[in-house]
Amino acid sequence: MKAIFRMIVAGGALALAGCSSLPGANLGDTFTMESFLNRDLPGGSYTNELAKAYQAEAALEVSKDTNWYDATAFKAKAEAAAAGETVMPWDPAAYGLDGQIATGYQETLSALKFKEARPAACARMVAAFDHWVEQSREGSHSITPAGTAQGAWAGAHYECTGGIAPMAAVAKSWTVYFGFDRSNLTAQARSVLNEVVESVRGLSSPLLSIVGHTDTAGSVGYNQGLSERRANTVANALSAAGVDMGTATLAGRSEKQLAVPTADGVAEPLNRRVEIQLGK
């Protein structure tokens, strides 16, 4: 039954990929995927770490994206690296991809000068970049958002280079809204925070700015405390979800930075918010 399921899933992925399938992808390799994923690969050197990193990406494709066909492309790269071959990241231009991912490609190649100093991190960076390419290529068919793969790459790049933030890092913002005179999270607010968690997954110490705001009802002093409580609520929720908050900044702005300008004493819902910014 598992073999039949793999054939159906892999066949569907192959149909979506069409003639632009990833190098090394092989339908037949889906039947040896489980034994490959269970293999204990050695680490240490950059090539060994690269094999392990591609094995991890293949596991992600199988477990989360259920894309056994594309997983075989990562399997092929893992086996090549384990054999000591030179394995380079995919060029996004070959798949018609440009913009940030093209910048990321050049940054990945440049960062490889650190591979002997930090082999594990640099290996994760290369494998994560290929995952970014793969997910971007899938577009709307992708289960894992391309932005999530991009975030994982950015975090690994930062570690590989010893703290150099890539130009192609994810830069996003979200707004969480609150009820009148409230600092608890609504269901809609939690949905927004789930998006934040997905976007920073894989990032080590993401540069998050969390700023609370209020409407003009109530005094400036009271609203300062309320805006800070809202920021803390968001920060605590992200921390509970596993987000590394070590480099996050929190602030409250009271009613001093209104999204919708109003007179004093106006309970404007769009002003009762926390703004979250993921920096580059």
Query: What's the pLDDT at 92?
Result: 93
Q: Higher-confidence residue: 19 or 46?
A: 46
Indicate the pairing of strand 208-212 with strand 172-177: unpaired
Give the relative orientation of helices 100-111 and 119-138 as an angle to the nearest 10 degrees.
Answer: 160
Q: How far is CA 137 from the centre of its chain?
A: 16
Query: What's the pLDDT at 172?
Result: 75
What is the rounded distance in angstroms from the CA atom of residue 265 to the CA atom of residue 32?
A: 67
Task: Give mean pLDDT, residues 127-132.
Answer: 95
Q: How far is CA 123 from the centre of its chain?
A: 17
Q: Is 178 helix (H, G, I), strand (E, B) or coil?
A: coil
What is the rounded distance in angstroms from the CA atom of residue 108 to the CA atom of residue 100?
A: 12
Q: How far is CA 206 from the centre of its chain?
A: 10
The single-letter code of the amino acid at 1 is M
Q: Is 247 helix (H, G, I), strand (E, B) or coil?
A: coil
Q: What is the mean pLDDT of the chain?
A: 87
Banded pLDDT at 118 (limits 50, 70, 90): very high
The 10s digit of each residue's pLDDT in 148-190 is: 888 889 889 989 999 887 877 666 789 999 999 999 999 999 9
Domains identified in the chain and CATH numbers: 2-160 (no CATH), 172-278 (3.30.1330.60)
Strand partners, 208: 278
Banded pLDDT at 14 (limits 50, 70, 90): very low
